Amino acid sequence: MPREVKQEPISIAEAARLIVGSRPSIVDGLRQGVINFSALAEMIKEQVMEIVGKQSVNVDSIKMALMRYAEELKSKKKLLEEQITEVIAKSILELKNDVAVLTVDQKNFIVRFDQIFKSLNSFRFLQLTQGNETFTVVTDLQSKEKIVEVVGQKSIILEIEDQSVIVIISPHQIIEVPGVIAYITDLLSTNGVNITQIISCYTDTLLIVDRKDALRAYQILENKILSLRKMLK
């Protein structure tokens, strides 16, 4: 008969982390230091008891486990914020205007891809993203007309003109540091800037925004980059 593997019991600390770890809002509260540890310990007490298999658990033990977990989260948050700050501070910006976004039926686009490919040298700007049933093409207005002419107007599912592209050129660390794009998008959304498309290309991040918001979005990002550079000095 196969030997039965005995499962190691779960500690109170492990149970507490397991419970709060599945609740992003609580984890965020622990990171920010705005959680009442006593109240949280009381709230999850019964769940902890079920997981550890005990009829009674000391609330103070849960509270201490939560406090240690919060310190770990704060430490990781501080390190991550430092890494994000460094990446953004070392980034540079470029702005390209007169851009359009096309959503094209995939089948018709693939059939005529060779024709489009032959015209690549004449395109001032082109970014291509493949979805399940469509291609999204971000290109300059003059090249947009060529693409529409080749694939046919009926193949165009969505067309958005009067767009601009903000290119964020970052150091290679952006590939390994989580949260950089979230930081940038949160910064713009907080200031009322809508992002039409986000495209990542190695160390380049392309933000497509409405042309009327482009200069303001560029200024917001530039001010943040400059302020973070001062912090690192």
Chain segment 135-154, per-residue pLDDT in tens: 999 998 888 888 888 888 99
Q: What is the pLDDT of residue 220?
A: 97
Q: Is 66 exposed, middle or buried (0-12, 13-18, 19+ CB in 10 A)?
A: buried
pLDDT in tens, 173-222: 999 999 999 999 999 999 999 999 999 888 999 999 999 999 999 999 99
Cα(27)–Cα(33) distance, rounded to whole angstroms?
Answer: 10
Q: Does residue 71 contact residue 167 with C-beta atoms inside 8 Å?
A: no
Q: Say what percent of the chain tops pLDDT 70.
A: 97
Helix (H) or strand (E) holding 194: none
State how far the Cα of 12 lies from the Cα of 10, in Å rounded to an integer. 7
pLDDT of 2 > 60? The answer is: no
154 close to 112: Cβ distance less than 8 angstroms: no
- Would you kindly state where each structural domain of the chain is located, as residue ranges? 12-79, 90-232
Distance of CA 60 to the CA centre of its chain: 37
Q: Where are the alpha helices (DSSP H) in 157-210?
A: 180-190
We find that the CATH architecture of domain 90-232 is 2-Layer Sandwich (3.30)
Picking from 145, 71, 147, the residue whose alpha carbon sits closest to that of residue 115 is 147
- Write out 111-137 in H/E/C secondary structure: HCHHHHHHCHHHCCCEEEEECCCEEEE
Q: Which of 75, 113, 221, 91 is nearest to 169 (CA)?
A: 91
